[in-house]
Chain A
Amino acid sequence: QTVVTQEPSFSVSPGGTVTLTCGLGSGSVSTSYYPSWYQQTPGQAPRTLIYNTNTRSSGVPDRFSGSILGNKAALTITGAQADDESNYFCVLYMGGGIWVFGGGTKLTVL
């Protein structure tokens, strides 16, 4: 059973920078897992932010960026805004037509 790990919660001050991570219970995340990131506010459908590690989806502000940091995928928000307060989910492609989502990070902007 593959486990994808994310911080359950994080907080950032308006205008600040925050990095959320996405790891594997055992092993390292690399670009070969095609990490992608999704933003979801309660009651809404997910919104695609980042795919293929570091490519922003259409219309996503450039304050969102993706990378590999150490052995994890990372989502960095630079200059956080109030409407960035959301849940953020990563997903890794495990190969063989299988994806596994992380548990999500609830980001508070205060």
Chain B
Amino acid sequence: EVQLVESGGGLVKPGGSLRLSCAASGFAFSNAWMSWVRQAPGKGLEWVGRIKSKTDGGTTDYAAPVKGRFTISRDDSQNTMYLQVNSLKTEDTAMYYCSTVRGSNLQYFQHWGQGTLVTVSS
């Protein structure tokens, strides 16, 4: 069974940083493309970024609002994906979900974690 477990969220002041983790199990993590999707309180889903498998280059892409402030990485030896969030703004307050991504000719988010909450407030 695929399991994705996010952690690392919390309360942080504007301008601060956090590192979120997504621990994966039940599938071949090293072959998987992964993504982060966030949801502000009472709002819709917003795609944050994606990392390809190392086999496919390990490249990352980001949504415009987070580009340059957020960094996705992965440690295949630990079956874990990370999201480093810097220069946080109040509008980054959201539940952050990780998901597996089926790329190539499918391009969708297949499995989802339960999320970790980031609150940016002074």
**Residues of A that sit less than 8 Å from B by CB:** 1, 34, 36, 38, 40, 45-48, 51-52, 57, 87, 89, 91, 93, 96-104
**Residues of B that sit less than 8 Å from A by CB:** 35, 37, 44-47, 50, 59, 61, 63-64, 97, 102, 105-115
Name the prevailing secondary structure of the B interface residues: strand
**CB neighbours of A1 from chain B (8 A):** 64
How many A-B pairs fall under 8 Å by CB? 66
CB–CB A34/B112 < 8 A:
no
**CB neighbours of A98 from chain B (8 A):** 47, 61, 63
Which B residue sits closest to A55, measured CB to CB? B106
A91 and B63 CA atoms in complex are apart in Å by: 13
**CB neighbours of A104 from chain B (8 A):** 44-45
CB–CB A34/B107 < 8 A:
yes
**CB neighbours of A99 from chain B (8 A):** 35, 47, 50, 107
